[in-house]
Structure 1
């Protein structure tokens, strides 16, 4: 089937706006597909009716068309997610809606492949959009006015959105790096030197995808792992675990490392930035952490040094996750410090706290021929440590190719 531009929204409340966008896409030479996800009425003129979408719900359309609006929205979101997963003709998607429409459309867009154009015009796009975007590449555009009729503002905003989608579809990005297997790496400002050295040594053989370990970065990397788009992982910077366990702002959630376990991908990890929990401006630090060691990374980011007790918790948490991995695993321990700030003379240098982390890892990880901890007498950013990461990564890749697994 020819690739088409999907335009999604609730036709009962936003029919004029959706059809306006379809007209602009058609004028740009594309074939639009109007998808109705209204939960209160069914637009018979839509290319894909709400009943057709609702039929994809595992409990059938009767689970969607109910009197409880909150449950209906949740059910339609699930139906749309499943419906779009069956389509093979999607060139790009334009969604539009208020809070309810955004809640229905965003989960489905998150399931689509990274790189497929996906744009969501929303009344909530100027707020915290992390719950909507997650680990995907959804582009969200604030609607400015409500999505409630065509007026001098909405005409411009929705017109720009339609033309932007047309541009993304008609001007696809040339493939690059497809001749090399992709490897996912995690990096933070305090491990940048290490990761830059590693990518420099791997660039000739691998397409290096570096993810900023800010919560969504780890989620994005693992989404690609689950999608089969990565050949291996160099998880240098596992700092998101700090924020998960200690309530920081850059948590990747309880599912961190689960994709590695599920897929059996070759994995080399380390303790990058496990010496710090991330908060916002100083005034955002929870009161029960007063008196701790802090470092102002910038006016919007305050770092808190982890304690020996917290490091022990993280070591056991990571160790339990590593024990579930089916593929070859090497986890390298930098005895000289886990970040730029955890070096001699630096504000987070605390050998006792680091020792608690390393000890907990060794007590928890069930080491085998394919799952190993490796201690090295270097800071994580030293060239010798970067070289060791690359050597072990090449080794686990070779092991994986030979069919070895834990």
Structure 2
């Protein structure tokens, strides 16, 4: 599957060489003219290809696994410092699989004629740089040559430079939503005062998925999961779900994690007409013309809390849940459109119904956006990081 042209600073080119050889060769020549060498990773399905199956879906899955293994080996060996894909719809999916294990910041460029929905899905799962061709890729012509040359010039100028061990500050991942922004802003400032870097992820589905993958990859020292609203969308079918893997990576990784019910008072939908008919009699609020929020009920928040506890059951590292008694979002305060203390307390009851004894739960008599909440959260995170540093120094 892999054709290697020797170099320590090579660019990998992922393409179906049985159908995209002309385009891949064109890109390779431009890259070489910029002083870089190339490595071909052939994901084609011709008779001389490595993967064989009579089931098209199974064949693509096998090709994706093989490409992922090849790309990972090239990266681990230090053979490549950038990668570019040239693909249509099927090839774009394979490229997404091939680069799935490459670190954040490793240059990944995909030149694709795939449908926008597929490219949007890839963008939600990885830091792939997308270059839609608009026209289809059928050889080199006056249109495709412009796109391919620009893509080749761009990837030839990119190189991955990993951080040296011990050179970085401690890093904490934080989840945020517009309605929890005051709390997040204060947490970021407080962590900075302790020389701890904060990386903020929007809790919009894509953000939560990406955070989980980066936690699993070992990019963070702790997680301040302040905004767990994506669990509400997962339970109730909203548009901001991050999938079933949400709130699992830190538990498996064993790093400190602090969990709060930020924005679990709401489920996200699109324009008002997109709200499912079964919710037509519910409390709805137009956050924007394109985003409709639905207030969660006591029954629903109980379930969201219970699911939260279940995900923490096998945590290998220090875990703490903080529940702010006076509200979980800017819309959930006295006079706010989603203010419902009973529903919030149901979340706490659901949490406690399944929370393991190994995980502590603290109640704070404040709103999630009050300074006291951020101060308590950061104090715990900092103490856990300092404890880890002390243990490492004693080893």
* Unaligned segments of structure 2, at least 5 residues: 1-6
The 3 A distance-change label for structure 1 pair 133 and 110 is farther
Cα distance in 1 between the residues matched to 2:236 and 2:203: 16
Matched, 1:265 2:252: no
Aligned-residue offset at 1:397: 2.5
Task: Provide the residue aligned with 1:22 in structure 2.
Answer: 28
Q: What is the correspondence of 1:199-348 to structure 2 with a 5 Å cutoff?
A: 199-204=188-193, 205-348=195-338
Alignment check: 8 A CA contact 1:198 1:387 kept? yes
TM-score scaled by length of structure 2: 0.92
Q: Give the equivalent residue in structure 1 for 2:384.
A: 396
Cα distance in 1, alignment partners of residues 329 and 264 from structure 2: 8
C-alpha separation between the residues in 2 aligned to 1:309 and 1:361?
12
Contact 1:333 1:358 in 2 (8 A): yes
Query: Counterpart of 2:14 in 1: which secondary structure?
Result: strand
Shift of 1:130: 4.0
SS at match of 1:202: helix
Cα 1:245/1:112, change in 2 over 3 Å: same
The CA distance in 2 between the partners of 1:295 and 1:28, in whole Å, is: 54
Of residues 64, 77, 85 in structure 1, which corresponds to 2:64?
77
Aligned length, in residue pairs: 381
After superposition, the CA RMSD in angstroms is 2.0
SS of 2:139 mapped into structure 1? coil
Partner of 2:169: 180
Aligned twin of 1:105:
95
How big is the shift at 1:13? 0.7
Distance in 1, Cα, partners of 2:237 & 2:163: 41
Q: Tell whether the 8 Å contact from 1:314 to 1:357 is kept in structure 2 after alignment.
A: yes
1:317-351 Cα offsets, whole Å, 9 max, x none, are 00111121111111100100000100111100001
Please say if residues 89 and 115 of structure 2, whose CA atoms lie closer than 8 Å, have aligned partners that are also in contact.
Answer: no
Between the aligned partners of 1:366 and 1:400, the Cα distance in structure 2 is 23
Q: Does 1:123 align with 2:113?
A: yes
Match of 1:11 in 2: 17
Supply the distance in 2 between the matched residues of 1:282 and 1:358 (Cα, whole angstroms): 30
Contact in 1 for aligned 2:11/2:83 (Cα 8 Å) = yes
C-alpha distance in structure 1 between counterparts of 2:185 and 2:220, whole Å: 19
C-alpha distance in 1, partners of 2:124/2:72?
Answer: 18
Q: Which runs of 5+ in 1 are unaligned?
A: 43-49, 55-63
Distance 2:318 2:306 in 1: 19
- C-alpha separation in 2, matches of 1:183 and 1:384: 19
Q: CA deviation at 1:34?
A: 2.0
Q: CA deviation at 1:125?
A: 5.2
Matches within 5 A, 1:57-72: 64-72=51-59
1:354 corresponds to which of 339, 344, 359: 344
Counterpart-to-counterpart distance in 1, 2:280 and 2:352: 31
Name the residue aligned to 1:373.
361
Q: Distance in 2 between matches of 1:275 and 1:403?
A: 39
How many angstroms does 1:110 deviate by?
2.0
SS of match in other structure, 1:129: helix
Give 3-state SS (helix, strand or coil) of 2:82's partner.
Answer: strand
- How far did 1:69 drift? 3.1
| 8 Å contact kept, 1:144–1:153 | no
Q: Distance in 2 between matches of 1:124 and 1:17?
A: 16
Q: Distance in 2 between matches of 1:116 and 1:159?
A: 21
Distance 2:45 2:26 in 1: 21
- The offset of 1:3, in angstroms, is 2.1
Contact 1:40-1:65 at 8 Å conserved across structures: no
Deviation at 1:401, TM superposition (A): 4.4
CA distance in 2, matches of 1:76, 1:28: 30
SS at match of 2:116: coil
Question: What residue number does 1:61 align with?
Answer: none
Task: Report the TM-score when normalising by structure 1.
Answer: 0.89
